[in-house]
């Protein structure tokens, strides 16, 4: 497979004003996307965004680039990333373009693209777009320029879709829920979904100003939600991230419920209803406690590389419909083509209603193992994973764990870091072994006279 120049595992992302996240680049990217769409017979693309201030600028230049290529645009305004995937399908667009840096701070932004089927673009299409980026930009004739219009009812359409993913008779009446929208793209959507299903909703993180997205709120910083749930005496809390594709929850005691525990709750409920289609897909970072809990239910856990893109690929390969990450990316493939925080939360609430149990009770089905992650800075292009000293150190740690834990070394996909993870039953042992292994990697780097 040819190496991609611009697209990473989740589109193009970076700091605004620094290549490639500049108006000039995004203008040409819009044109390149339009060129590829036009060559394949496409004539219309959707553009949605989160609430960060740079979204206005990038929305305008994307629209201009698409128009220059002869492609029409429909502007959705601030909308969750999964909503754009859904609307791309239902509005029969050729592509859906998302302007978002997800859980990153406001000064970052990014572009990711869904195909007409609502799924992320295959590699060959991304490579075709990158090939167009290398060509001189030119504009179609004035009669062929693309037009733009704003979709007025995008939020309403998506709210109705979210509600349709749970049983028609499901009622959340009598349930008090705190929803933290991270001042992001869900601010005008998520509270309405849970309210219209009957819950008493206390909404926080719903006052975006362009700068406060993900700022000490939402799924990255659930402390405010944990406090508010207890102050309000709520049944639970729901924390979304800036673009709405990630969710964590908080039980009535204020305890955090992460993606592993949410995945187990959904899987257990689906198995009881005869709706679980085979295995559940996690990642190499999914806690061993999740694997053991699923095993007790007769459910296999398949592990993908870290990243919802890889989770989705393994789900499609195996024909499975449920997967996710510890971070809260939960994919219900029988509901939508991508991870969706609102839909995942609704699946959990459905499980609570049917079981007549609290979130606190259901999450106890997973007994988490101590897991320690240590980051070691490694110069770009340097691979220490196959070094004999590192391999020896890994083998030594595995022997000490004696089959009661896991060791994982992996390169970060976004930073020049090696992530050293050790997991086991004894927290003190795990911490010591992770530090020992990280130190061995540093010594290898130092011996090679490489900067740490």
Residue found under tokens 């060959």? 124
Using CA atoms, how far residue 29 sits from 19, 22, 68, 301, 422, in Å, is 12, 10, 11, 38, 41
CB 36 within 8 A of CB 121: no
SS3 296: helix
Q: How far apart are CA 237 and CA 228, in angstroms?
A: 8
- Return d(Cα 166, Cα 139) in angstroms, integer: 46
Q: How far is CA 390 from CA 329, 372, 403, 445, in A?
A: 31, 18, 19, 10
Beta bridge mates, 373: 421
- In the three-class reduction of DSSP (H, G, I as helix; E, B as strand; rest coil), residue 12 is classed as strand
**Residue 26 CA: distances (Å) to CA of 51, 97, 256:** 18, 11, 38
> Using an 8 Å Cβ cutoff, are 99 and 58 in contact?
yes
What's the rounded Cα separation, in Å, for the pair 74 and 59?
Answer: 11
* Euclidean distance between CA atoms 385 and 381, whole angstroms: 12
Q: 73 - beta bridge partners?
A: 45, 148
Catalytic residue among 54, 100, 102, 286: 102
Active site residue 396: no
Residue ranges in 402-426 assigned as alpha helix (H): none
* Cis peptide upstream of residue 20 (ω within 30 degrees of 0): yes
For the annotated catalytic residues, the residue numbers are 102
């Amino acid at each position: 497979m040819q190496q991609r120049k611009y697209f990473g595992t989740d589109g193009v992302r970076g700091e605004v004003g620094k290549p490639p996240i500049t108006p000039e680049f995004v203008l040409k990217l819009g044109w390149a996307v339009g060129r590829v769409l036009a060559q394949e017979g496409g004539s219309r693309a959707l553009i949605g965004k989160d609430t960060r201030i740079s979204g206005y600028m990038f929305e305008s230049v994307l629209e201009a680039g698409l128009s220059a290529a002869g492609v029409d645009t429909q502007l959705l305004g601030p909308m969750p990333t999964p909503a754009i995937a859904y609307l791309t399908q239902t509005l029969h667009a050729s592509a859906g373009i998302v302007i978002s840096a997800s859980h990153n701070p406001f000064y970052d932004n990014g572009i990711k693209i869904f195909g007409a089927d609502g799924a992320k673009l295959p590699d060959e299409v991304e490579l075709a777009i990158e090939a167009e980026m290398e060509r001189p930009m030119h504009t179609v004739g004035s009669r062929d320029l693309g037009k733009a219009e704003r979709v007025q009812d995008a939020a309403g359409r998506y709210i109705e879709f979210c509600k349709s993913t749970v049983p028609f008779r499901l009622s959340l009446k009598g349930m008090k829920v705190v929803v933290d929208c991270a001042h992001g793209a869900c601010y005008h959507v998520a509270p309405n979904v849970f309210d219209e299903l009957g819950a008493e909703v206390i909404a926080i993180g719903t006052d975006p100003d362009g700068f406060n997205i993900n700022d000490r709120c939402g799924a990255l910083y659930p402390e405010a939600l944990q406090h508010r749930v207890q102050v309000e005496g709520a049944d639970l809390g729901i924390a979304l991230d800036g673009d709405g594709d990630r969710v964590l929850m908080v039980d009535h005691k204020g305890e955090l419920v992460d993606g592993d525990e949410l995945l187990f709750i959904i899987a257990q409920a689906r198995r009881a209803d005869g709706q679980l289609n085979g295995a559940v897909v996690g990642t190499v970072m999914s806690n061993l406690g999740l694997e053991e809990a699923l095993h007790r239910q007769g459910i296999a856990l398949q592990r993908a590389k870290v990243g919802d893109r890889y989770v989705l690929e393994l789900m499609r390969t195996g024909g499975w419909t449920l997967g996710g990450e510890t971070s809260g990316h939960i994919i219900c493939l029988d509901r939508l083509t991508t991870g969706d925080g609102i839909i995942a939360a609704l699946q959990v609430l459905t499980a609570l209603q049917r079981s007549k149990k609290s979130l606190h009770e259901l999450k106890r089905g997973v007994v988490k193992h101590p897991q320690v992650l240590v980051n070691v800075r490694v110069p770009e292009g340097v691979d220490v994973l196959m070094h004999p000293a590192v391999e020896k150190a890994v083998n030594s740690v595995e022997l000490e764990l004696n089959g009661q834990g896991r060791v994982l070394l992996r390169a970060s996909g976004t930073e020049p870091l090696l992530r050293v993870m050790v997991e086991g039953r004894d927290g003190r042992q795990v911490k010591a072994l992770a530090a020992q292994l990280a130190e061995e990697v540093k010594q290898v780097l130092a011996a090679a006279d490489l900067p740490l």
